[in-house]
Structure 1
Amino acid sequence: MLALRLTRSAHPAVQLRRLLVAAASAGTGFLLLSALGHALGNPDAASTSTLRLAWCAAPLAATVYFAVAVARTDPGTRPRPGLSAVGLGPARLMAVSATTTALSCTLGSMLALLVFLHLRGDLTGMPFDGAATDFLAAGRPLPLPAALTLLSLVPLSASAAVAVTLRPREPEAGTAPAARSYGRFGAYRRTTVRESFGAYGRFGKQFGAAARGRRTAVPAPGPDGAAEGATGSPAAESAAGATPVAAATVPAGLPWGVAVLAVGLAVEALASRTGGAAGDRPAALLGLALTSVGLALAGPGLTHVCGRLLQAVRPGALRLLAGRVLMAEAARIGRPLGVVCAVLAAAYAMASLQHRQDATSGPLVTLGVLLVAGCTLATLLTAAVEARQARAGTTEELRRLGAPAATLRKAAVLRALALLALFGPLTLVVAELSAWPLSR
């Protein structure tokens, strides 16, 4: 009941994202039922039916990925202060979010079943004059348990993925607050090193080692004779405070992504030299899968590198703001961006095999490609919304300090152009290299 109330009282934008999840679930469910219909109508072509069912794994994964992204941006199930007192702790909110996702996916699966039954002619007369009966199995009874089992894959997988992603996590050992300790005369102290008698009364002891280092440091003279890098200046102190933000570490997936991408391209090059028909070379498809995985893994690292490049040569305030935002959000928007590039490259490469498909599977292939591309693009947009929500406090602080709204908009446009300039040519190159062995 709580999940239904939160679903009904959500913002229209949140409702729209949930309806998109239901639509994606409906498309995936229809593809699964089409594979079942092909198996019923062609009992002698078991291998072809199995291959059609295996191709449904890509739309299923894209739908689950999109459902998880929508659940992460749902403001109704976000932990807030005071909710634990009324029994809505992190675990309960995670369960509510998983239930809401299951409801959306179940709605889409039921819609897919109704459309499939309508096209078969079980509800009304068969439309389209009986066309596309190859994957509908109109003349055979539909096994309802098998159909419901296939339709339950999307709700169960999506709700389980949401539960795993949003599960409550224990705080790391390094982030735990230090135990409170008391110094002399009940005063608080931050270190556990005991002081000798009378040490606190010595001049400068209470300022710490950092303050003594600032007073004793001798700045190096610059070319004009002025002291450079004077640590006692307010500008230097503010720059030092900003250094940990600028020195964010590169996401760990970049070396692995580049390595997997290189292996995939090498496998495709080897498959192109062996000759033979494209459909008879599973190594080419394996190389295509590896290149797609490599692009997805390298997405966060490439986004971080893009942020660094924006600040490379004498950056101004606009490039500094755009670059640091990209570096801070590399893990959040880099992975969906890498997945979008991988899907586009794979779709371009698989277009060379379109002439080998039979006429009956053409609409289903188009539906699957549109479904995967739409889910990945919607996931990227949802991740952008999540990133905007995450930096809402920083944006409000910048506006309070007097940053013009036009500057923030220009920084957002600059970030988009920088990502397009990096990922666009990379996607085209990988797509061309992947399509070459498949088209021979």
Structure 2
Amino acid sequence: MLSLRVLRGAGPAVLGRWALAAAASAGTGLLLLSTLGWALAHPGGDASHAAVRLVWCVVPVVVTVQLAAAVGRTQSAAWPREGLSSVGLGRTGLLALAAVTTAVVCLVGSAVALLVFLQLRGDVTGVEWNGVGPGLLASGKALPPAGVATLLAVVPAAAAGTMLAGLRSGHTRVRDAPGSLPWGVALVAVGLSVEVASPRGDGLPLPSGLGVIAPAAVGGWIVTTAGMVLAGPGLVHVIGRLLAAYRPGPVRLLAGRTLQHESPRLGRPLGLLCATAAAALSAYTLQSGDGHRLGPVSVFAFTLIAVCVLATAAVSLNETASSRTEARNALHEVAASPTTLRAALAVRATALLAVLVPLAFLVAALSTLP
């Protein structure tokens, strides 16, 4: 009940972020239910095909959970600690409240996914929607309650667990951001090497009939993505250090110092955004190479992933801007002009784009070699 009261008392911007997390949970729930529908519609088919469809749902689940956890962390950091402490909520209670609130939002999204799936099957109106291709809705077949409940509980449970893990590790950020850069670069190099050297032949079928990919290449892509996320804080810190090097002016100095200070918070979302952009470029290359068009489910999944990653980065940027209030006030006190602040922002954005965009193209080019 307290979680519902917290949600009801939130402002429009906070409710908008929670609504986005619920919508992402609903989209991921639809993808998970579609795998169940395909398995029910093909009872005599190869079980590995249903397993492969379920495996490809891992990516939407991960990015949805990350978005929900990012929204939950941002909201829990803004809670009135004194007021919650006065009603007996200590640190453990706040952790539980944040996790339960995130789970409730994701459960709402899962419930919406179930209602939409039943509507598409024709269980509500009696008319099946045929826009997703045959064999995905299993119309006329009874849905197993245990299977439906298990699939729809994946995102809420994972989001609550991620919230508990992230908040229990403390609200402090890793200050030695450059220390993660060598490890991230090493992981990216290892992942790309595995992808390039992966054996050709049979493997996991890609969505929408884009061919097959060796399991080793999938593992290499996972390692590459993890390396880009791990290297993100260090890379942003190095960019800031280079901006502030060699007799900088006020704009360059302000931009560089800001990037160095905010690298622990910005690095990982930007690293994941860069990895997602590389994956999108790789998918576009595969699609345009043989003229194959993506199916509606694949388009929906790719759109969901892109929206979740962009929204996670936007939440992190908004959190960073909110934490910059004291520094901005201090600059105003020393008569720093608004033009200087806007110029520093433009320099930061330009420097990040100048590094991350070529990096995404390079990783995409190497990833499509297999």
Does the alignment reach a TM-score above 0.5?
yes
**Aligned partner of 2:10: which letter?**
A
Identify the residue that residue 260 of structure 1 maps to in structure 2: 187
Q: CA deviation at 1:250?
A: 3.8
- Is the Cα contact below 8 Å between 1:98 and 1:160 reproduced in 2? yes
Structure 1 stretches lacking a partner, 5+ long? 172-247
Aligned length: 358
Farther off after superposition, 28-37 or 364-373: 364-373
Shift, 1:94, TM fit = 2.1
How far the C-alpha of 1:45 sits from its partner, in A, is 2.3
Please, what TM-score do these two structures have when normalized by structure 2? 0.89
Larger fraction in helix: 2
Identity %: 48
Q: 2:346 aligns with which of 384, 388, 413?
A: 413
Q: Which residue of 2 aligns with 1:62?
A: 63
State the partner residue of 2:153. 152
Partner in structure 1 of residue 206 of structure 2: none
1:383 maps to which of 316, 321, 327: 316
Q: Is contact 1:134–1:360 with CA below 8 Å preserved after alignment? A: no
Residues 333-352 of structure 1 mapped to structure 2, 5 A cutoff: 333-352=266-285
2:238 and 2:257 map into 1 onto residues whose CA distance is 11
Work out whether residues 77 and 97 of structure 1, in 8 Å CA contact, stay in contact via their aligned partners in 2: no
- Counterparts in 2 of 1:351 and 1:42: CA distance versus 1, 3 Å: farther
**Structure 2 CA distance for aligned equivalents of residues 83 and 96 of structure 1:** 10
TM-score (norm 1): 0.76
What is the aligned partner in structure 1 of residue 217 from structure 2?
284
CA displacement at 1:351 relative to structure 2 = 3.7
**Distance in 2 between residues matched to 1:276 and 1:170, nearest whole Å:** 47
Q: Give the conservation status (yes or no) of the 8 Å contact 2:184–2:226.
A: yes
Q: In structure 2, do the counterparts of structure 1 residues 303 and 268 end up closer, same or farther at CA, with 3 Å as the change threshold?
A: same
- Once residues 95 and 12 of structure 1 are traced to their aligned partners in structure 2, the CA distance between those partners, rounded to angstroms, is 24
1:305 paired to 2:306: no
SS in 1 for 2:212: helix
Which AA in structure 2 matches 1:323? G
For residue 166 of structure 1, give the secondary structure of its aligned residue in structure 2. Answer: helix
- Return the letter of the residue paired with 1:350: A
Determine the structure 2 residue equivalent to 1:92: 93
- Aligned equivalents of 1:54 and 1:103: distance in 2? 25
* 2:41 is aligned with 1:41: yes
Describe the superposition over 1:378-426 as per-residue Cα deviations: whole angstroms up to 9, x where unpaired. 1111001111122222212222232222222221221111111111111
**Which structure is larger by alpha-carbon Rg, 1 or 2?**
1
Q: Is the 8 A contact 2:121 2:129 kept in 1?
A: no
State the distance in 1 between where 2:277 and 2:361 align: 9
CA contact (8 A) 2:287 2:293 kept: no
Partner SS state of residue 252, structure 1: helix
Q: Which aligned runs of 4 or more in structure 1 are off by greater than 3 angstroms?
A: 75-83, 127-131, 168-171, 248-251, 274-278, 350-357
Pick from 142, 154, 178: which aligns with 1:251?
178
Retained in 2: the 8 A contact 1:299–1:337?
Answer: yes
Distance 1:126 1:36, change over 3 A: same
Aligned CA distance change for structure 1 residues 38 and 361 (closer, same or farther; 3 Å): farther
Secondary structure of the residue aligned to 2:54 is helix
Question: Cα distance, 1:284 vs. partner?
Answer: 2.7
What's the counterpart of residue 18 of structure 2?
18
Over the aligned positions, Cα root-mean-square deviation in angstroms equals 2.5
Counterpart code for 1:5: R
Q: Residue 412 and residue 80 in structure 1: after superposition, are their counterparts in 2 closer, same or farther (change >3 A)? A: farther
Change (3 A) 1:133 1:67: same
State the alpha-carbon separation in 2 of the partners of residues 356 and 37 from structure 1.
Answer: 31
Q: 1:391 to 1:81 in 2, by over 3 A?
A: farther
Task: State whether structure 2 residue 318 is matched by structure 1 residue 398.
Answer: no
Change (3 A) 1:138 1:306: same
| 1:315 maps onto 2:248 in alignment | yes
Q: Matches of 1:49 and 1:79 in 2, distance apart?
A: 47
Aligned residue in 1 for 2:74: 73
Question: Where in structure 2 are there 5+ consecutive unaligned residues?
Answer: 203-210
